[in-house]
Amino acid sequence: MAGAMRILADRGGVVFVDKPAGLPSTGRDLDDPNCVQRRLQEALGRRVWAAHQLDRGTSGVLVFVTRRSLVAPTQQALARGRKRYLALAHGRLAEPRRVIEAPLRYVRRQARPAVVPDGKYARTEVLLRQRGERASLVEARPRTGRTHQIRVHLAHVGHPIVGDALHGLGPAARLGLHCWRLRLEGEWVEAPVPADFRSLGEELGLSLAGQRSF
C-alpha cells in the first residue's frame, strides 16, 4: 500500500508534490483514482497536468502544473534545472565520485531501456555518501533525462539499485530510489527521506536516521 501524497510547494501554478513509493505519477486515464495526478486534483479541486514523471517505485519530488499552457515552459525549465536522487545500490562502491556515460534506448526484445551503442547520450554523476558491507548509499545527479537512466546506469557498472526487479537483483520492500531535491528556476525544493527508504537502508546496514541532508 502506497503512502500519502503531500504538497510541498505551489509557485504560481507549478505544484511540487512529495510522491510516495508504490503510487504511479499518472493513471490509465483522467478518472483513475490510483495515481498522484488524481489525488492532487482532488486536493486542489481542479485539473492538473504532469510536467515530468517518476517511476511507480520511486519516491520524492514530482512536478505538476495547473494550466496546460505551463507544461512546455515548465518542462524546459526542468531540463535547465538540476535533480538530486538518493539511491541504495547493491555492493560497496569503491570510488567517492564516478561519472557514468553510457548511451541508452528502449530494447524491444528485453522490454526495457538498456545500454546500447546506438542509444541516446546519457550521463549520470554518482557521489558516494555511505558505504556498508552489502550496499552503498549514493547521490545520483542525472545530467540527461533518459527513461530509467539512474537505474540502468547503476546496473551497468555492477551496482543495481536495491529492489529493482527490472534492471537488478529482485524485489525488496520498495525500490531504493528517492528524488530528494529538485531545482527549478534557481530555487530548490526538497522531499525529506521517507521512513520506508530509511528502513530499507537500515536493513542493509546503512544508518540514515536523523540525516535530513547529505
Q: What positions carry a catalytic annotation?
A: 55
Q: Which three cell numbers stand for residue 88?
A: 541504495
Cα 208 from Cα 44, distance rounded (Å): 33
28 DSSP 8-state letter: S
DSSP SS3 for 152:
helix
CB distance 21 to 59 below 8 Å: yes
CB distance 100 to 144 below 8 Å: no
DSSP SS3 for 150:
helix
Using alpha carbons, select from 19, 7, 2 the residue that is nearest to residue 66: 7
Tell me the one-letter amino acid at 51. A
- Residue 64, number of CB atoms within 10 A of its CB: 27
DSSP SS3 for 30:
coil
Cα 80 from Cα 78, distance rounded (Å): 5
